[in-house]
Amino acid sequence: MEWLNYHHLLYFYTVAREGSVTKASEVLHLAQPTLSGQIRKLEESFDEKLFIRDGRNLALTDVGQMVFRYAEEIFSLGREMQDALRGRPTNRPAKLLVGISDAVPNLICHRLLQTALDLEESVELVLHEGKTNDLIAALALQKYDMVLTDAPLSPSIRVKAFNHSLGGCSVGFFAEPALARRHRRGFPKSLDGAPVLLPISNSSLRRSLDAWFESVDVRPIPIAEIEDTALMKVFGQHGTGIFAAPIVVADEIRKTHGVHLVGRTDEVREEFYAITVERRITHPAVAAIANAARGGILG
């Protein structure tokens, strides 16, 4: 059995948290050469580099980030044990670490993740937004319990992970009130020549919209391609163009952005997925989210 030197792990954790050997040596009251030597021994025991130089500071490698996450949990549990022995309350909520693809609308994220917050057992959400491929790479290093996306994991991505469909919903088209009135009558033909705000070309929703425009023989005028769905709604509320969004959150979109519904179609759908490293979901909060989604919270 290989033994983990917890003193070395503590030194690593402190350097990672403080950002430099100099600051960590002050916290730990150790000489800098001693501290650097202990961390090298930890790297040797793992046969992995944990830090890279970033200017005057140190940055964690991918492996270092994974080790830091485990170390944080280990020392947090140690503090909890001490509190329990001293009779202090230890109601530490379970953490749910979620990577969110920037293609997933914020309102959909909130609707899904609120399910975890409504559980009887307290859950602390830790949410990071980013590009899907970057999030999946981090998932493989166990930085997240799940990744929320608008598309299933591509077979070309060589990561051992599994798609869990959360279902989907049809889309509506929204616009500033005056613009909505001009293009509501005769929908969807009324979109021909209309100013529209589109998702970027490599997104799942954009491909579906392009195919649908072709099928109903309309050619709207693209005003902008916008990656951030929140930014798209801001442009839409100021009359820049018509934008598509999940119909299930239509009420929230209208109230928040002051826009009106132009029309809706069931032929374009946004689908959502939870991607995990487990074929069978075991995390209670992830399971609750999946069950609620399949139970119809997405419409």
Query: Can you spell out the DSSP letters for 245-297?
Result: EEGGGHHHHHHHH--EEEEEEEEEEEEEEEEES-SS---HHHHHHHHHIIIII
Q: What is the pLDDT of residue 221?
A: 97
Same domain for 115 and 75, yes or no, is no
Q: What is the pLDDT of residue 138?
A: 87
25 assigned to some structural domain: yes
Q: What is the pLDDT of residue 214?
A: 96
- When divided into structural domains, the chain yields a total of 3
Q: What is the pLDDT of residue 279?
A: 85
Same domain for 161 and 179, yes or no, is no
Residue that is last in its domain, among 28, 57, 85 = 85
245 assigned to some structural domain: yes
Q: What is the pLDDT of residue 1?
A: 44
Same domain for 160 and 281, yes or no, is yes
Q: What is the pLDDT of residue 85?
A: 66
Residue that is last in its domain, among 85, 111, 126 = 85
Same domain for 194 and 163, yes or no, is no
pLDDT tens, 212-233? 999 999 999 999 999 999 999 9
Q: What is the pLDDT of residue 69?
A: 86
Same domain for 256 and 223, yes or no, is yes
Residue that is last in its domain, among 63, 85, 107 = 85
Q: Among residues 128, 126, 121, which one has the least CA distance to residue 92? A: 121
Same domain for 279 and 145, yes or no, is yes
User: pTM above 0.85?
Assistant: no
The single-letter code of the amino acid at 224 is A
Question: Which tokens hold the place of 149?
Answer: 């996306």
1 assigned to some structural domain: no
**CA dist., res. 279 & res. 296, Å (int):** 22
Same domain for 21 and 163, yes or no, is no
**CA dist., res. 202 & res. 157, Å (int):** 16
Same domain for 202 and 265, yes or no, is yes
CATH of the domain at 137: 3.40.190.10
Same domain for 281 and 150, yes or no, is yes
Same domain for 178 and 253, yes or no, is yes
Same domain for 157 and 279, yes or no, is yes
- Contact status, residue 298 vs residue 248, Cβ threshold 8 Å: yes
| Burial label, 222 (beta-carbon count in 10 A; 0-12, 13-18, 19+) | exposed
Q: Among residues 279, 50, 275, 16, which one has the least CA distance to residue 146? A: 275
Give me the average pLDDT of each 10-residue run along the chain (299 residues): 81 88 88 90 90 80 88 80 63 81 92 90 89 88 89 79 91 97 96 96 92 97 94 96 96 95 95 90 89 84
Q: What is the pLDDT of residue 178?
A: 97
Q: What is the pLDDT of residue 2?
A: 65
Range of the domain at 49: 6-85
Q: What is the pLDDT of residue 88?
A: 57
Q: What is the pLDDT of residue 89?
A: 55
Same domain for 264 and 278, yes or no, is no
Question: Which tokens hold the place of 260?
Answer: 């009106």
291 assigned to some structural domain: yes
